[in-house]
Chain A
């Protein structure tokens, strides 16, 4: 019963390095999204996708890229890491056909940029 799986759970990057956070869901949800969560700021939407091949920007997209080649996968790429990107990242998926129309989260990825 995997649900939403994201990796890695913890990562330390140096300023300027790039990396990809992986996200996969096995619920056949059409909608996937990436959030970051900072103390006192709540969850802020970075990018989202309404289906394979379709992505769009959220509230805080700068410094991040996404792609959606399959329904299952939605990786988040940090192009050139900055200390301001130190945060907890959550991948999520949802579907309008899900009972209650709820959103499901991965366990989070703790990223520190030094």
Chain B
């Protein structure tokens, strides 16, 4: 079993739609949690950190459930510019970042 698993995708949604991505992690000792965004042929970039209390950044909402070892990302009012691959990332100890395989999103006009 992979250490971090994500919805396989791809997700094809119309502009304005709400879309949710799911991620599970296997190591209960995981300490920090993130969503990264990766555009085609580009490096991953931080979208947002994920906190136990849940957090929101504009149209993006991230949730963490430590008991279920589950992380989610909700995107509201999807824009064409949201088209990208979304990577779920956890750290297990120190600076050991573990990446999920990613979920590709295409927002269609």
User: Quick check: which of B14-22, B39-47, B75-83 contacts chain A, the rest being far away?
Assistant: B39-47
Q: A40-B101, A42-B100, A94-B95 are in contact. Are A102 and B46 (CB under 8 A)?
A: yes
User: Which chain A positions have C-beta within 8 A of B42?
Assistant: 107-108
User: Which chain B positions have C-beta within 8 A of A31?
Assistant: 94-95
Residue A41 at the chain B interface, CB threshold 8 Å: yes
Interface magnitude class on chain A = 20 to 34
Contact between B101 and A42 (Cβ–Cβ < 8 Å)?
yes
Contact between A50 and B95 (Cβ–Cβ < 8 Å)?
yes
Interface size on B, residues (CB 8 A): 21
Which residues 56-109 in A have Cβ within 8 Å of B in the complex? Answer: 90, 92, 94-96, 100-103, 105-108
Since A42-B101, A92-B97 are in contact, a sample of 15 more A-B pairs with Cβ atoms closer than 8 Å, ordered by chain A residue number, is: A33-B97, A35-B99, A41-B101, A42-B87, A42-B99, A42-B102, A43-B44, A90-B43, A90-B44, A94-B95, A94-B97, A95-B95, A103-B46, A105-B44, A107-B43
